[in-house]
């Protein structure tokens, strides 16, 4: 039986987070159905709303005193991970235990052909059933390239098995060893570009990421208004990887 830790970050939006958490925990025997025994690690990133529903004996609860952002939530939760692989599920994303079992089965199949698989994601759909996100690839400066543009989940570009830089990020599986090898997430990123940054760091190693079009899930709150922090995250990410590329190029020339 495989034990696997599930990280579920929460910051406000309490009603939706409660719905998604109940969806995740409900309807199945969490004591080992399908050869899988998950353990839920919830990170309350200093919510100001009532999140008392997180007080549950079946949950490992990590509470932040201050709102530190998604990257820090991932890094802090990773210190509690006991399993070889972990699952990340954002608190506005509908995923059931059945889908977790299916995702683990897909990972097992892909590992037979790709033993260096470190990160596996699936199709993210909006509530209306249209595509939100499948994967991104990036050039050496961190600019997104070769991303699917169709909103149709059945379009060819939104299907198949693809080795990519960064798969859809509201629900994914990642190997703990790989996260450690790349130094974890960048704590300077609070809300946006965390997945792209993980992908850029993974590109510098022999680990690979895969986007698998055979599964899909619903991301219930996909359209978030950009705020000042989002702009800071964007500017930081772009500046970071441009400097990295320029330094590498200058060292190569030298």
From first to last of its 254 residues, the chain has per-residue pLDDT tens of 789 999 999 999 999 999 999 999 875 455 555 678 889 999 999 999 999 999 888 899 999 999 999 999 999 999 999 999 999 999 999 999 889 999 999 999 999 999 999 999 999 999 999 999 999 999 999 999 989 999 999 999 999 999 999 999 899 999 999 999 999 999 999 999 999 999 999 999 999 999 999 999 999 986 567 789 999 999 999 999 999 999 987 765 54
Closest C-alpha to 63, from 82, 77, 49:
77
- The pLDDT assigned to 222 comes to 63
pLDDT of residue 254: 46
pTM over 0.85: yes
Range 2-253: architecture per CATH: Alpha-Beta Complex (3.90)
CA pair distance 109, 210, nearest whole angstrom: 12
- Decide: helix, strand or coil at residue 101: helix
* Spatial distance between the Cα atoms of 95 and 182, rounded to a whole number of angstroms: 27
Tokens at residue 170, please? 């509201």
**Cα–Cα distance for residue pair 139/200, rounded to 1 Å:** 9
Domain ranges of the chain: 2-253
Residue 26's pLDDT is 77
For β-strands 117-125 and 93-94, DSSP reports them as unpaired
């Amino acid at each position: 039986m495989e034990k696997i830790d599930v990280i579920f970050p929460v910051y406000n939006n309490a009603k939706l987070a409660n719905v998604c958490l109940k969806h995740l925990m409900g309807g199945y025997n969490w004591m080992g159905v399908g050869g899988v025994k998950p353990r839920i690690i919830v990170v309350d990133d200093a919510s100001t709303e009532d999140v008392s529903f997180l007080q549950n004996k079946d949950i490992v609860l990590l509470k932040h005193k201050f709102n530190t952002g998604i990257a820090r939530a991932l890094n802090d939760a990773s210190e509690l991970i006991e399993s070889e692989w972990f699952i990340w599920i954002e608190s506005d994303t509908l995923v059931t235990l059945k889908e977790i079992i299916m995702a683990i089965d897909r990972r097992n199949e892909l590992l037979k052909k790709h033993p260096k698989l470190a990160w596996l994601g699936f199709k993210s759909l909006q509530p209306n059933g249209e595509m939100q996100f499948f994967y991104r690839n990036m050039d050496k400066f961190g600019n997104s390239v070769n991303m699917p543009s169709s909103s149709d989940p059945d379009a060819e570009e939104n299907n198949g098995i693809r080795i990519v830089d960064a798969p859809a990020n509201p629900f994914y599986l990642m190997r703990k060893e790989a996260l450690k090898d790349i130094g974890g997430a960048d704590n300077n990123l609070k809300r946006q570009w965390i997945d792209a940054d993980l992908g850029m760091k993974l590109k510098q190693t022999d680990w690979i990421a895969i986007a698998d079009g055979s599964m899909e899930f619903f991301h219930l709150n996909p359209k978030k208004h950009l705020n000042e922090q989002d702009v800071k995250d964007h500017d930081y990410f772009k500046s970071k990887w441009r400097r990295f590329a320029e330094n590498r190029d200058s060292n190569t020339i030298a």
